[in-house]
Chains A and B, each alone.
Chain A
Amino acid sequence: MTTLRRVLVANRGEIARRVFRACRMRGISTVAVYSDADADSPYVAEADVAVRLGPADARESYLRADLIIDAARRSGADAIHPGYGFLSENAAFARAVMDAGIVWIGPPPEAILAVGDKQRARDVAKRAGVPTVPGHEGDDDDASLLAAAERIGYPLLVKAAAGGGGKGMRKVLESSELSDAIASARREAEAAFGSSKLILERCIERARHVEVQLLGDTRGHVVALLERDCSLQRRHQKVIEECPSPSIDAETRVRLLDMGVRVAKAAGYVNAGTAEFILAPDGALYFLEMNTRLQVEHPVTEEVVGVDLVGWQLAIAAGEPLTLRQEDMVPRGHAIEFRLYAEDPSNGFLPQPGRIVDLRLPQGPMIRVDACVRAGMDITGWYDPMIAKIVVKGANREEARRRMSAALADTVVLGIRTNTAWVKSVIDSDVFRDAAIDTTWAERTLSATHYERPEPSEAAWVALAAFLASGGPSGAPSGAAGPARHPTPFDAADGFALVRGVAP
């Protein structure tokens, strides 16, 4: 067993803060790395040590394995947590970290190679006797893809083999669109993952997206920490996730979790990972891919199962045994997560870089916010447009849904447009209440061009008049603090000391 003393998080924003929190719980000190665009971000100040990587462009900062390993050496970090995105599923990076004598908080590079690529993951699943979606993997030159597409039939999905989060993915309805989709998916895949390799998959219509949270230790013990349902997606980007899935019964759950464990074991999987499945309208389950990292939506699992997944990642990386038992994995309550994005639903969901003038994130019992923003901060165009994750829990799904609706009503981001009102309209809808949403529902019913911002309510005009009558800007909140902001860890008088600046 190893003792972790100082962990570097090779990531930014809310996930860096999330990992720091787990480290502090275990008395481990923290190292942040940052690009020039993030120098003033709260997570940088929050770390015990912060190291600059390079310019804002991720290819010159967060995707530079050499700079990150050098930062770990210079800051005395004995372990690296990759977060999600960036280099988190890059086996070469994991290997380089380990070769540098640094503990890698994630699956071994062999396991990343075995399942991190969609194509190899399908092979592993087949070996484990787990069904997969019909498709094409292998030669990915344009001619091979065009020929395979004719065999698979339309609609189909073009996907980045190394992908995730909808990047480098295109849905193709007919053969005339295929060439364009391949070219554009390749470009996006190359930019996002450093690999332009593509696979094809039959598009199963009206499917639901369910995924199994897995933890495995170095002794071969694997546990499935229930499933998540991420069926509300827009352009293959998850918007709302929940745990447990409202679309499966207890019997299907047992079958699903067992499939997840079988894939993980066949891959020699260690640490946290997620097996993604498609639930077809006829009840068939197909293995889709494995995410060899912590997921953005891990909090819903934490809230329902009652575990600290990042804490377990640290423990497993240190060689500790996983003491969770599969038979204890039963849902306790229901959790829902909403991803607050800086994007404009009334204008094609275009990203909305800009300054957050004022910010109110919801608070209260059974409301959890994972974020790294404050009023006055700029959302740059360099990275993902996610501002915050808002997670609510309830005794059951309906209670959680109502709590989420209230939490969204309390959410205020002024200065840039967000998806809050659009998601609230979804949460409040009968179709979401009845859990009847599939992965293409958002595109079919609330397509970007048809989402219209509602006209201001009478109350909004009254509030405007009250503001103007009070003197507008000069009547703004008084006091040196300026606009109210969401509390950050710096606000807590807990004696937490910061050491800023570049490590020796």
Chain B
Amino acid sequence: MRPVDATWTEGRIAKRLKADPTSGGIVLSVDGGAARPFAVSRDADGGWIVDGPEGRIRAVVARVGQRVLVALGGHTFEFSEAASGAVASAAAIEREITAPMTGKVVDVSVREGDVVEAGATLVVLEAMKMEHRMKAAAAMRVTSVRVARGAAVELGALLVTLEPVS
């Protein structure tokens, strides 16, 4: 066991975790709250058993890249350390339509220069035999189309760029 003092985030929630090792566990303070003792052990499958004042917590935890995934009670939470979790601004996201999954472009509905209404279909992707429509979030002008019909695209690939209609 080693001491921890870091801020972690999950979705919009951020909390500061301060933990100090004890024999067989930790003393933990969350967001500067009262320090509470927890006994930490592992189950036969490598899962985590954490016994604290409110009872027993059983979880499966894994580090994947910069994230730590915590599964318990049928939920999976995805934590990132605060410093590493730079979030792009909403405005920037709206101007770049990227592939939300790896798949194939089955249709491109717009051309450079087109002005589209909110909700207009820009690109139709197919993955796992299901179609997914990428739509404009607002009335926008298409500044570039980066893919063609039939192209295979990776998760995160840039499909279309937009700019607000002035």
Contact = CB atoms under 8 A, between A and B. Distances in A.
B131 A187 contact: yes
A461 B129 contact: no
Contact of A357 (B57, B62, B131): B62
A351 B38 contact: no
A184 interface: yes
19 contacts: A167-B130, A188-B130, A188-B131, A192-B129, A351-B103, A353-B102, A357-B69, A381-B101, A414-B62, A414-B76, A421-B74, A421-B76, A424-B74, A460-B70, A460-B75, A461-B30, A462-B52, A469-B19, A476-B46
A6 interface: no
Contact of B128 (A187, A351, A414, A462): A351
A105 B75 CA distance: 40
Nearest to B41: A466
A interface bracket (residues with beta carbon within 8 Å of B): 35 or more
A466 B62 contact: no
A455 B13 contact: yes
A459 B59 contact: yes
B4 A465 contact: yes
Given A411-B74, A467-B48, 20 more contacts: A184-B124, A187-B107, A187-B131, A351-B101, A353-B101, A385-B128, A414-B60, A420-B76, A454-B75, A456-B79, A459-B73, A460-B72, A463-B72, A464-B8, A464-B79, A466-B26, A469-B19, A469-B21, A476-B62, A477-B46
A456 to B, nearest CB: 4
Interface in A149-179: 167
Contacts of B28: 462, 465
B156 interface: no
Top 8 A-B residue pairs of the complex, sorted by shortest distance between their CB atoms: A477-B46, A463-B59, A484-B45, A412-B71, A456-B77, A459-B57, A424-B74, A467-B61
A418 B71 CA distance: 12
A237 to B, nearest CB: 9
B46 A456 contact: no
A483 B46 contact: yes
B85 interface: no
B13 A456 contact: yes
A421 B78 CA distance: 14
A43 to B, nearest CB: 18
B1 interface: yes
A135 B62 CA distance: 52
Given A191-B129, A360-B45, A464-B79, A350 B73 contact: no
A357 B64 contact: yes
A254 interface: no
Contacts of A353: 101-102, 127-128, 155
B49 to A, nearest CB: 9
Interface string B10-43: 1101010101010001101010000000101010
B61 A382 contact: no
B6 A455 contact: no
Contacts of B4: 465, 468-469
B115 interface: no
A188 to B, nearest CB: 6
A472 B72 contact: no
A326 interface: no
Contacts of A167: 129-130
Interface in A251-305: none
A409 interface: yes
B131 A456 contact: no
